[in-house]
Structure 1
Amino acid sequence: MSSWPTYPALQWLAVAEHELLLFAAIWFAIFALDELAVDLAWLRLRLSGRAWTPRLSHPCTAELEGLAVVLVPAWLESRVIGPMVRHALQSWPQRNLRIYVGCYRNDLATIAVLSSLAPDPRLRVVVHDRDGPTTKADCLNRIYRAICEDERRSAVRVRALILHDAEDMVHPAALTLMDRALDTADFVQLPVRPEPQASSRWIAGHYCDEFAEAHARDMVVRHHIGAALPSAGVGCAFSRGAIDRILAARSSAEPFAAECLTEDYECGLLVHQTGGRSVFLRVRDSAGALVATREFFPSNLVASVRQKTRWVHGIAFQGWDRLGWKCAPGDVWMRLRDRRGPLVALVLAAAYLLVLLWPLVLLAKATGFAQPVDDGPLLRAVLAFNLASLVWRLIMRAWFTGREYGAIEAVRAILRFPVGNVIAVLAARRAIAAYIRVLAGGRLRWEHTVHHVHVCQAASPARSEAANERHQPLPAAA
């Protein structure tokens, strides 16, 4: 056509659209095959009965086999730390429980709240000898040193170290279940259940969708194929032996790497790497509610992007640098899934760029200013496969969300799918920039998520009010 030499820019735009389409289509197909493999593994477990969630026949609050300590790092958490500690002490009446809250000497508001709590011999407040904020791992290490000092003074060795955050709402049965599981395991992870927020159906709500699927499918599959289980940083317990092996592997006196942004994820993998056994414990209580850690996740875009930036930086980049790939095939597969975040974000960015380019190229073709670029039968087949896999993925996402949160949230899960994608792209961009900055000699930055309301504080409709009175989530289907 005469328009080819006359309007080269528009023709090159059509070529660029085709190349972007080819790039995105191939990678989306690879990601779809990966997700389909996990789906098939989960369906096989489900049909065989091995992925069925057991239900407790009675309340599970028996005394512990040994001393269990809960480590709670706190920086600027004066709004939530009081309700968290009170609720945990009330929900877990066991005498062998100790809750260690680590705070900073320059965070007077948090110290004041902790000082105002009713005296309880099971509560220990550890004030860091450095000004905050440092990293979460550094605060955990300070708590760990206090635990070791108490062990020396009392001559009583701790049996289990449990991680929780200041915004967590624990389940009454969780402590005993983790304690029992440690009879045969070195690391136990319970599900995390983000709570819906009426004021943030889209940003906070997308966490409900992602965790509902990850902690009902992905973690179940990882557990059953014998792959290493990452720690979510909350609702998880390490045996004392597992911590000792991590210390030996690191040749360190501190179990948590202060320079790591996702020290909890790393410790979970190190349990498996050092020969320990890990368990993902998915159980429902006698009322049908999931035994899980409940919490509110970020409700605005900026906070959500900052949080996921930390996850991508710590898991994808630092995980690659610090843990490598020397592991069994099942673990290689799961580490590939864990670390693919930046690549997924790049492909998503290409796809959304295509959405912007498509009407311009379509107009150029319709007006004769650009020649159509033939997609070919192979690319058309890949696009058809991707469309089918997207529909399947949306169905699965809605099903997992609906099973835990109800039919309305299941519908919202489909509509929220692009929200999670946009946040992932923005977080990956910031994570890449942060990683490059660190490689260039810059300082590692810890971006703390500020929490304003604890779950049991939230003034909400009758549904949440009744759940808070029982200190447990509402019943849900198995």
Structure 2
Amino acid sequence: MLLGSFTAAEWFVLVQHELLLFAAAFFALGMIDEFALDCTYLWLRFKGRIRSRQIDEREFDEIDGLAGRAAIFIPAWQEADVIGPTLVHMLEVWPQDELRVYIGCYRNDAATIASVIAAARGDPRVRLVVHGRDGPTSKADCLNRMYGALAEDERRESIEARMVVLHDAEDMVDPAALRLLDHALWDAHFVQLPVLALPQPQSRWIASHYSDEFAEAHGKALVVRDALGAGIPGAGVGCAVARGSLDRLAHQHGGKPFAEDSLTEDYELGLKISLDGGRGRFLRVRASNGQLIATRAFFPARLSQSVRQKTRWMHGIALQGWDRLGWGRDPVELWMQLRDRRGPLAAILLVTAYVLVALIALQLLLERAGLVPPPPGSPLLQILLWVNLAGVAQRFAVRFCCTAREFGWRQGLLAIPRTFVSNIIAIMAGRRALLAYIGTLRGAPVVWDKTEHRDHPAMASPEGQVA
């Protein structure tokens, strides 16, 4: 039959069938990828290469201080609402004399500067670094300004820092984290601790969907990555870099270790150290009370803020990462890079899937009315749909287990419908990321499109502080 002889109804059935076949095939590939990661995780646990570590904090208490100076970098642009609680809590739970907290502010952000001064309360371990340019520049530019201040202090005091730890202005650090990082850097160059995005009762869908994503990513994906010896990307918070490794990066990039033309300089940091021959580690350790040693934070509770944040991540990791880091030749590294950079394709497939839901509903109505014929039988399509159905059930089960392990079974159950919230945000962010990437290809500058923070875990009730 010639294509030109098709009726409108036949064209509708044909297009719907081919679109469904396309989406089902690519979704099946994604499900197979996730199934492979789950099987790898289970196998590594069975072989003992992944195990749940637990420490007694009293072992750390017996150690007199740290092995060397620890410099904490906290970039802060318009963070007057949260930088105070972050700093007060950090200075309280990390009493070590070797601690130096560098907070990078901008000369045109008087409110944040005032909050830092008030929270520091004259503590000599706090170093306020005021950028000589108006903000916002890029986050990496602010980090490089703090790196310059650290190098200046080291020359003046003749004391070199042992490690640099990255945190954001809204983080609530774990009391045991600093000593754990200090100990881990004896046999590593870059160390990342888990991040826990705390569920927020006032935002059970937008803010709390981050709880599910981080619980799975930092409870399974990065654990497998570490066990297989792949490079560990930085999360930007709760990660420590050996001072020598940071110095080598600075030497290679004109004295600036953080990539100012990248939207995800933290992600690149750990991978660059790995490419340079350094060892990266992801440490998932629990305290004696069973609590995960991790950085805790509240994530955006508004849709627009969440979309902006996911846009920056997708743009920097999936699109810029392709250009800036290239592709590895090691099979494990290549697998992880493909997983990292699938965000834009996943967004396109999700749009296709939701369009197909509407088309299938319309087709059923037209079939009942006798206006279109039933779609042709396709064994391949049926197989793909069954694979997708099994894959979706598996994804829900894994997401439930990962979230429930950290936040309880009620949050685990909520993680299942929150998957659809995550999908909608990914679609919106994917569109914005592609447009932003095209803009940078045309010469648009990289600007710190930061997320607004108003709430802080340290100001919440005791029940809301920890997972």
**Superposed pair shares fold, TM > 0.5:** yes
- Which residue number in structure 2 is paired with residue 207 of structure 1? 210
- Which residue number in structure 2 is paired with residue 257 of structure 1? 259
Q: Helix, strand or coil: the match of 2:424? A: helix
- Which residue number in structure 2 is paired with residue 20 of structure 1? 19
1:318-366 deviations in whole A, cap 9, x for unaligned? Answer: 1010000134211111001000100011111100000111111112222
- Which amino acid in structure 2 is aligned with residue 126 of structure 1? V
- Which residue number in structure 1 is paired with residue 69 of structure 2? 67
> Does structure 2 retain, via aligned residues, the 8 Å contact 1:75–1:133?
yes
- Which residue number in structure 1 is paired with residue 99 of structure 2? 97
> Does structure 2 retain, via aligned residues, the 8 Å contact 1:11–1:369?
no
Structure 2: how far apart are the matches of 1:259 and 1:26? 36
- Which residue number in structure 1 is paired with residue 434 of structure 2? 432
Alignment of 1:61-460 (within 5 A): 61=61, 62=63, 63-117=65-119, 118-248=121-251, 250-458=252-460, 460=461
Shift of 1:463: 2.1
Shift of 1:52: 2.0
- Which residue number in structure 2 is paired with residue 37 of structure 1? 36
> Does structure 2 retain, via aligned residues, the 8 Å contact 1:10–1:364?
no
Q: Helix, strand or coil: the match of 2:49? A: coil
> Does structure 1 retain, via aligned residues, the 8 Å contact 2:57–2:176?
no
Shift of 1:50: 2.7
- Which residue number in structure 2 is paired with residue 49 of structure 1? 48
- Which amino acid in structure 1 is aligned with residue 376 of structure 2? D
Shift of 1:158: 1.1
> Does structure 2 retain, via aligned residues, the 8 Å contact 1:71–1:162?
yes
Number of equivalenced pairs: 461
Structure 1: how far apart are the matches of 2:67 and 2:136? 35
Q: Helix, strand or coil: the match of 2:451? A: coil
* Worse-superposed segment, 364-373 or 145-154: 364-373
**Percent pairwise identity:** 52
* Worse-superposed segment, 160-169 or 368-377: 368-377
* Worse-superposed segment, 56-65 or 277-286: 56-65
Q: Helix, strand or coil: the match of 2:286? A: coil
> Does structure 1 retain, via aligned residues, the 8 Å contact 2:136–2:447?
no
1:401-426 deviations in whole A, cap 9, x for unaligned? Answer: 00100010010001111111111111
Structure 1: how far apart are the matches of 2:285 and 2:344? 33
Structure 1: how far apart are the matches of 2:391 and 2:173? 36
Shift of 1:431: 0.1
Shift of 1:176: 0.2
- Which amino acid in structure 2 is aligned with residue 429 of structure 1? R
Q: Helix, strand or coil: the match of 1:138? A: helix
Q: Helix, strand or coil: the match of 1:101? A: strand
Q: Helix, strand or coil: the match of 2:384? A: helix
Shift of 1:16: 1.8
> Does structure 1 retain, via aligned residues, the 8 Å contact 2:76–2:105?
yes
Structure 2: how far apart are the matches of 1:92 and 1:444? 34
- Which amino acid in structure 2 is aligned with residue 253 of structure 1? G
Q: Are the structure 2 counterparts of residues 102 and 445 from structure 1 closer, same or farther at C-alpha, using a change threshold of 3 Å?
A: closer
1:84-134 deviations in whole A, cap 9, x for unaligned? Answer: 011001110111110000000000001111122311111000000000011
Shift of 1:12: 2.0
> Does structure 1 retain, via aligned residues, the 8 Å contact 2:108–2:134?
yes
Shift of 1:379: 1.1
1:270-315 deviations in whole A, cap 9, x for unaligned? Answer: 0100000011111011111000000000011110000000000000
Shift of 1:375: 4.0
Q: Which runs of 5+ in 2 are unaligned?
A: none
1:62-104 deviations in whole A, cap 9, x for unaligned? Answer: 4110111000000000011011011001110111110000000
Q: What is the RMSD computed on CA atoms of the aligned residues?
A: 1.5
- Which amino acid in structure 2 is aligned with residue 93 of structure 1? P
Shift of 1:244: 2.2
* Worse-superposed segment, 43-52 or 388-397: 43-52
- Which amino acid in structure 1 is aligned with residue 201 of structure 2? A
Q: Which runs of 5+ in 1 are unaligned?
A: none
Structure 2: how far apart are the matches of 1:157 and 1:431? 40
Output the TM-score relative to the length of structure 2.
0.96
